[in-house]
Amino acid sequence: MCVIASLPKGKTITNKTLDQMWKRNPDGGGISWIENGKVQVFKTMKLKAFKTKFKEVTKMYGDSDILVHMRIATHGSICIENNHPFHVDPQTVFAHNGIMPNEFHPPAKSDLSDTRHFNNVFLQHMKPVALDDIAFTEMLGDLIGFNKLVFLSANKKLKKDSYIINENQGVWKDGVWYSNDHHLPNRTPTRRVATYTSGFSRYSQDEFHFNEADACIPNMTIEDYEDPFFDVSTGEPVTYSDFVAGEIPEELLDNGSLEDIIWTMSAELGYQYPDLGMIMDDYALKFDEKTMSFKCQQCNKKVDAELERSCTSKCDGANLQFIR
Protein backbone atom coordinates (compact mmCIF):
# COMPACT_ATOMS: atom_id res chain seq x y z
CA MET A 1 0.00 0.00 0.00
CA CYS A 2 1.03 3.66 -0.36
CA VAL A 3 4.09 5.01 -2.16
CA ILE A 4 7.44 6.30 -0.90
CA ALA A 5 9.81 8.52 -2.85
CA SER A 6 13.40 8.91 -1.67
CA LEU A 7 15.05 11.92 -3.29
CA PRO A 8 18.85 12.18 -3.20
CA LYS A 9 20.14 15.72 -2.86
CA GLY A 10 19.52 17.84 -5.95
CA LYS A 11 16.66 15.65 -7.24
CA THR A 12 12.98 16.56 -7.49
CA ILE A 13 9.59 15.23 -8.64
CA THR A 14 7.46 16.96 -11.25
CA ASN A 15 4.02 18.33 -10.45
CA LYS A 16 2.51 15.83 -12.86
CA THR A 17 4.11 12.90 -11.06
CA LEU A 18 2.99 14.25 -7.67
CA ASP A 19 -0.57 14.43 -9.02
CA GLN A 20 -0.35 10.84 -10.27
CA MET A 21 1.04 9.62 -6.95
CA TRP A 22 -1.70 11.36 -4.97
CA LYS A 23 -4.45 10.10 -7.27
CA ARG A 24 -3.45 6.53 -6.38
CA ASN A 25 -2.78 7.32 -2.72
CA PRO A 26 -5.24 10.01 -1.61
CA ASP A 27 -5.38 9.41 2.16
CA GLY A 28 -2.77 11.98 3.14
CA GLY A 29 0.88 12.75 2.57
CA GLY A 30 4.06 13.70 4.34
CA ILE A 31 7.44 15.23 3.57
CA SER A 32 10.63 15.07 5.62
CA TRP A 33 13.84 17.03 5.08
CA ILE A 34 16.94 18.20 6.92
CA GLU A 35 17.00 21.86 7.95
CA ASN A 36 19.92 23.37 9.88
CA GLY A 37 21.07 19.94 10.96
CA LYS A 38 17.64 18.84 12.21
CA VAL A 39 15.12 16.53 10.62
CA GLN A 40 11.76 18.16 9.91
CA VAL A 41 8.35 16.66 9.10
CA PHE A 42 5.31 18.13 7.34
CA LYS A 43 2.00 16.26 7.06
CA THR A 44 -1.25 17.17 5.34
CA MET A 45 -4.49 15.66 4.06
CA LYS A 46 -4.65 18.07 1.09
CA LEU A 47 -2.79 17.78 -2.21
CA LYS A 48 -2.56 21.55 -2.75
CA ALA A 49 -0.88 22.07 0.63
CA PHE A 50 1.42 19.10 -0.07
CA LYS A 51 2.58 20.48 -3.43
CA THR A 52 3.11 23.96 -2.02
CA LYS A 53 5.29 22.62 0.79
CA PHE A 54 7.15 20.24 -1.51
CA LYS A 55 8.08 23.11 -3.83
CA GLU A 56 9.36 25.12 -0.87
CA VAL A 57 11.35 22.23 0.60
CA THR A 58 13.04 21.22 -2.64
CA LYS A 59 13.98 24.82 -3.36
CA MET A 60 15.35 25.68 0.09
CA TYR A 61 16.63 22.33 1.40
CA GLY A 62 17.28 20.28 -1.71
CA ASP A 63 21.00 20.18 -0.90
CA SER A 64 20.15 17.23 1.38
CA ASP A 65 18.05 14.12 0.85
CA ILE A 66 14.26 14.42 1.02
CA LEU A 67 11.67 11.78 1.95
CA VAL A 68 8.13 11.78 0.52
CA HIS A 69 5.21 9.50 1.39
CA MET A 70 1.60 9.31 0.19
CA ARG A 71 -0.84 7.00 1.93
CA ILE A 72 -3.69 4.69 1.06
CA ALA A 73 -5.19 3.40 4.30
CA THR A 74 -5.12 -0.32 5.14
CA HIS A 75 -4.87 -0.44 8.94
CA GLY A 76 -5.95 2.47 11.11
CA SER A 77 -8.07 5.52 10.47
CA ILE A 78 -7.64 8.03 7.67
CA CYS A 79 -6.24 10.86 9.76
CA ILE A 80 -3.15 13.03 9.87
CA GLU A 81 -1.78 11.09 12.87
CA ASN A 82 -1.43 7.98 10.69
CA ASN A 83 0.39 9.85 7.92
CA HIS A 84 4.06 9.07 7.37
CA PRO A 85 6.90 9.81 8.05
CA PHE A 86 7.13 8.89 11.75
CA HIS A 87 9.87 9.69 14.23
CA VAL A 88 12.05 6.85 15.43
CA ASP A 89 13.88 9.36 17.61
CA PRO A 90 14.27 13.17 17.46
CA GLN A 91 16.92 12.90 14.72
CA THR A 92 15.49 10.07 12.59
CA VAL A 93 12.20 9.45 10.75
CA PHE A 94 10.97 6.67 8.50
CA ALA A 95 8.23 5.83 5.99
CA HIS A 96 6.80 2.41 5.17
CA ASN A 97 5.25 0.84 2.08
CA GLY A 98 3.48 -2.48 2.39
CA ILE A 99 1.48 -4.52 4.88
CA MET A 100 3.51 -5.60 7.87
CA PRO A 101 3.73 -9.32 8.73
CA ASN A 102 0.95 -10.54 11.02
CA GLU A 103 3.23 -10.37 14.06
CA PHE A 104 3.32 -6.59 13.72
CA HIS A 105 -0.36 -5.93 13.12
CA PRO A 106 -1.96 -3.65 15.73
CA PRO A 107 -4.42 -5.13 18.25
CA ALA A 108 -8.01 -5.61 17.15
CA LYS A 109 -10.05 -2.39 17.10
CA SER A 110 -6.87 -0.33 17.44
CA ASP A 111 -6.82 3.01 15.64
CA LEU A 112 -3.09 2.60 14.98
CA SER A 113 -1.82 1.78 11.52
CA ASP A 114 0.42 -1.28 11.21
CA THR A 115 3.31 1.13 10.55
CA ARG A 116 2.83 3.05 13.79
CA HIS A 117 2.47 -0.21 15.71
CA PHE A 118 5.71 -1.55 14.18
CA ASN A 119 7.45 1.67 15.16
CA ASN A 120 6.19 1.38 18.74
CA VAL A 121 7.12 -2.25 19.30
CA PHE A 122 10.31 -2.50 17.25
CA LEU A 123 11.93 0.52 15.63
CA GLN A 124 11.87 2.76 18.68
CA HIS A 125 13.89 0.12 20.52
CA MET A 126 16.74 0.10 18.02
CA LYS A 127 19.74 2.39 17.95
CA PRO A 128 19.61 4.40 14.71
CA VAL A 129 23.39 4.03 14.28
CA ALA A 130 22.59 0.39 13.52
CA LEU A 131 21.54 1.58 10.05
CA ASP A 132 25.23 1.60 9.10
CA ASP A 133 25.48 -2.09 10.05
CA ILE A 134 24.78 -4.13 6.90
CA ALA A 135 24.01 -7.21 8.99
CA PHE A 136 21.28 -5.26 10.80
CA THR A 137 19.73 -3.77 7.67
CA GLU A 138 19.69 -7.17 5.95
CA MET A 139 18.07 -8.68 9.05
CA LEU A 140 15.50 -5.88 9.07
CA GLY A 141 14.74 -6.45 5.40
CA ASP A 142 14.27 -10.16 6.01
CA LEU A 143 12.11 -9.47 9.07
CA ILE A 144 9.62 -7.29 7.19
CA GLY A 145 9.58 -9.53 4.10
CA PHE A 146 7.55 -8.02 1.26
CA ASN A 147 7.73 -4.48 2.65
CA LYS A 148 9.91 -1.43 2.17
CA LEU A 149 11.21 1.17 4.62
CA VAL A 150 13.08 4.42 4.06
CA PHE A 151 14.86 6.21 6.91
CA LEU A 152 15.95 9.85 6.80
CA SER A 153 18.28 10.98 9.57
CA ALA A 154 20.16 14.07 10.69
CA ASN A 155 22.21 11.96 13.09
CA LYS A 156 25.81 13.03 12.52
CA LYS A 157 27.06 9.62 13.65
CA LEU A 158 25.54 8.05 10.54
CA LYS A 159 27.37 7.88 7.22
CA LYS A 160 24.36 8.81 5.06
CA ASP A 161 21.14 10.82 5.22
CA SER A 162 18.94 8.10 3.73
CA TYR A 163 18.70 4.33 4.13
CA ILE A 164 16.39 2.22 1.96
CA ILE A 165 15.42 -1.21 3.29
CA ASN A 166 14.56 -3.73 0.55
CA GLU A 167 15.67 -1.25 -2.09
CA ASN A 168 15.50 -3.89 -4.81
CA GLN A 169 11.75 -4.16 -4.30
CA GLY A 170 11.30 -0.64 -5.69
CA VAL A 171 12.30 1.21 -8.83
CA TRP A 172 14.65 4.09 -9.65
CA LYS A 173 13.34 6.66 -12.13
CA ASP A 174 15.00 9.95 -13.05
CA GLY A 175 17.33 9.65 -10.07
CA VAL A 176 14.51 9.16 -7.54
CA TRP A 177 13.72 5.85 -5.80
CA TYR A 178 10.03 4.90 -5.66
CA SER A 179 8.72 2.02 -3.56
CA ASN A 180 6.40 1.08 -6.43
CA ASP A 181 5.51 2.35 -9.90
CA HIS A 182 1.71 2.11 -9.78
CA HIS A 183 1.35 5.84 -10.30
CA LEU A 184 3.15 5.77 -13.64
CA PRO A 185 0.62 6.21 -16.48
CA ASN A 186 2.47 3.94 -18.91
CA ARG A 187 3.23 1.20 -16.41
CA THR A 188 3.07 -2.20 -18.09
CA PRO A 189 2.65 -5.20 -15.77
CA THR A 190 5.54 -7.63 -16.20
CA ARG A 191 5.91 -11.27 -15.33
CA ARG A 192 7.75 -11.59 -12.06
CA VAL A 193 10.70 -13.95 -11.86
CA ALA A 194 12.01 -14.35 -8.33
CA THR A 195 15.44 -15.46 -7.21
CA TYR A 196 16.28 -16.26 -3.62
CA THR A 197 19.21 -15.78 -1.28
CA SER A 198 19.39 -17.51 2.11
CA GLY A 199 15.73 -18.42 1.84
CA PHE A 200 14.51 -14.85 1.44
CA SER A 201 13.05 -13.18 -1.61
CA ARG A 202 15.42 -11.18 -3.80
CA TYR A 203 14.76 -9.71 -7.24
CA SER A 204 17.07 -8.48 -9.96
CA GLN A 205 16.74 -4.89 -11.21
CA ASP A 206 15.70 -6.08 -14.67
CA GLU A 207 13.09 -8.56 -13.47
CA PHE A 208 11.69 -6.75 -10.50
CA HIS A 209 8.43 -4.85 -10.28
CA PHE A 210 7.28 -6.04 -6.84
CA ASN A 211 4.83 -3.41 -5.68
CA GLU A 212 2.23 -3.25 -2.96
CA ALA A 213 -1.39 -2.77 -3.89
CA ASP A 214 -2.34 0.84 -3.48
CA ALA A 215 -6.07 1.17 -3.29
CA CYS A 216 -8.97 0.42 -0.96
CA ILE A 217 -12.71 0.84 -1.28
CA PRO A 218 -14.35 -0.54 1.89
CA ASN A 219 -17.72 -2.26 2.01
CA MET A 220 -17.91 -2.75 -1.74
CA THR A 221 -20.25 -5.52 -2.89
CA ILE A 222 -20.82 -7.14 -6.25
CA GLU A 223 -24.22 -5.42 -6.44
CA ASP A 224 -22.41 -2.09 -6.69
CA TYR A 225 -20.92 -2.99 -10.07
CA GLU A 226 -22.11 -5.25 -12.85
CA ASP A 227 -18.48 -6.03 -13.57
CA PRO A 228 -16.37 -7.07 -10.53
CA PHE A 229 -13.25 -5.60 -12.10
CA PHE A 230 -12.82 -1.84 -11.97
CA ASP A 231 -10.24 0.88 -11.54
CA VAL A 232 -10.47 2.08 -7.95
CA SER A 233 -8.85 5.40 -8.82
CA THR A 234 -11.80 6.29 -11.07
CA GLY A 235 -14.54 3.94 -9.88
CA GLU A 236 -15.06 2.88 -13.49
CA PRO A 237 -15.44 -0.78 -14.48
CA VAL A 238 -12.69 -2.33 -16.57
CA THR A 239 -12.85 -5.37 -18.80
CA TYR A 240 -11.58 -8.72 -17.59
CA SER A 241 -8.88 -8.69 -20.28
CA ASP A 242 -7.63 -5.30 -19.07
CA PHE A 243 -7.76 -6.45 -15.44
CA VAL A 244 -5.46 -9.43 -16.12
CA ALA A 245 -3.28 -7.80 -18.82
CA GLY A 246 0.36 -8.77 -18.56
CA GLU A 247 -0.32 -11.59 -16.11
CA ILE A 248 -2.55 -14.09 -17.96
CA PRO A 249 -1.66 -15.20 -21.52
CA GLU A 250 -4.12 -14.06 -24.17
CA GLU A 251 -4.86 -17.63 -25.18
CA LEU A 252 -6.27 -18.27 -21.68
CA LEU A 253 -8.60 -15.27 -21.56
CA ASP A 254 -11.59 -17.41 -22.61
CA ASN A 255 -11.03 -19.97 -19.85
CA GLY A 256 -14.12 -19.63 -17.67
CA SER A 257 -12.70 -21.62 -14.74
CA LEU A 258 -9.67 -19.35 -14.54
CA GLU A 259 -11.85 -16.24 -14.73
CA ASP A 260 -13.91 -17.61 -11.83
CA ILE A 261 -10.74 -18.00 -9.74
CA ILE A 262 -9.65 -14.44 -10.44
CA TRP A 263 -13.16 -13.09 -9.86
CA THR A 264 -13.21 -14.86 -6.46
CA MET A 265 -9.84 -13.33 -5.54
CA SER A 266 -11.12 -9.89 -6.39
CA ALA A 267 -14.28 -10.50 -4.36
CA GLU A 268 -12.34 -11.78 -1.34
CA LEU A 269 -10.37 -8.53 -1.34
CA GLY A 270 -13.47 -6.34 -1.54
CA TYR A 271 -12.93 -5.44 -5.21
CA GLN A 272 -10.22 -3.05 -4.07
CA TYR A 273 -7.54 -3.76 -6.69
CA PRO A 274 -7.46 -2.09 -10.13
CA ASP A 275 -5.59 -4.99 -11.77
CA LEU A 276 -4.50 -8.56 -11.15
CA GLY A 277 -0.84 -7.57 -11.12
CA MET A 278 -1.33 -5.62 -7.92
CA ILE A 279 -3.00 -8.60 -6.21
CA MET A 280 -0.07 -10.77 -7.29
CA ASP A 281 2.37 -8.16 -5.98
CA ASP A 282 0.64 -7.71 -2.66
CA TYR A 283 0.26 -11.42 -1.99
CA ALA A 284 3.51 -12.56 -3.66
CA LEU A 285 1.81 -14.76 -6.25
CA LYS A 286 2.85 -16.18 -9.57
CA PHE A 287 0.66 -17.82 -12.18
CA ASP A 288 1.42 -21.41 -13.20
CA GLU A 289 0.12 -21.96 -16.74
CA LYS A 290 0.63 -25.71 -16.55
CA THR A 291 -1.64 -26.22 -13.52
CA MET A 292 -3.79 -23.15 -14.17
CA SER A 293 -3.29 -22.06 -10.59
CA PHE A 294 -1.62 -19.39 -8.49
CA LYS A 295 1.37 -20.22 -6.34
CA CYS A 296 3.61 -18.53 -3.79
CA GLN A 297 6.55 -16.81 -5.48
CA GLN A 298 8.98 -18.13 -2.91
CA CYS A 299 8.03 -21.67 -1.82
CA ASN A 300 5.96 -22.55 -4.91
CA LYS A 301 3.06 -23.83 -2.80
CA LYS A 302 -0.48 -23.37 -4.13
CA VAL A 303 -2.59 -20.37 -3.13
CA ASP A 304 -6.29 -20.93 -3.73
CA ALA A 305 -8.95 -18.55 -5.05
CA GLU A 306 -9.79 -17.45 -1.49
CA LEU A 307 -6.10 -16.65 -0.92
CA GLU A 308 -5.60 -19.52 1.51
CA ARG A 309 -1.91 -20.40 1.53
CA SER A 310 -0.09 -23.65 2.19
CA CYS A 311 3.34 -22.02 2.51
CA THR A 312 6.06 -23.68 4.53
CA SER A 313 6.81 -22.20 7.94
CA LYS A 314 10.13 -20.84 6.69
CA CYS A 315 8.56 -19.07 3.72
CA ASP A 316 8.10 -15.30 3.88
CA GLY A 317 4.79 -15.83 2.12
CA ALA A 318 3.34 -17.39 5.27
CA ASN A 319 3.14 -13.87 6.67
CA LEU A 320 0.84 -12.90 3.80
CA GLN A 321 -1.99 -15.24 4.82
CA PHE A 322 -5.22 -13.42 4.01
CA ILE A 323 -7.12 -12.53 7.19
CA ARG A 324 -10.91 -12.34 6.99
158-196 per-position pLDDT tens digit: 999 999 999 998 999 999 999 988 777 655 433 333 322
CA gap 170, 317 in Å, rounded: 18
100 has a pLDDT exceeding 70: yes
Of residues 72 and 172, the one with the higher pLDDT is: 172
Q: Is the dihedral of CA 143, 149, 153, 156 positive or negative?
A: positive
Model pTM score? 0.60
pLDDT digit string (tens) for 280-299? 888 889 999 999 999 998 89
Average pLDDT value over all residues in the chain: 79
Domains of the chain with bracketed CATH: 3-178 (3.60.20.10), 215-320 (no CATH)
The residue ranges of DSSP E strands in the chain, in sequence order, are 3-7, 29-35, 38-44, 66-70, 86-89, 92-97, 148-153, 162-165, 171-173, 176-178, 195-197, 200-202, 230-231, 236-237, 285-288, 293-296, 302-303
CB neighbours of 259 closer than 8 A, spacing ≥ 6? 240
Mean pLDDT of 31-35: 95
pLDDT in tens, 131-162: 999 999 999 998 888 889 999 999 999 999 99
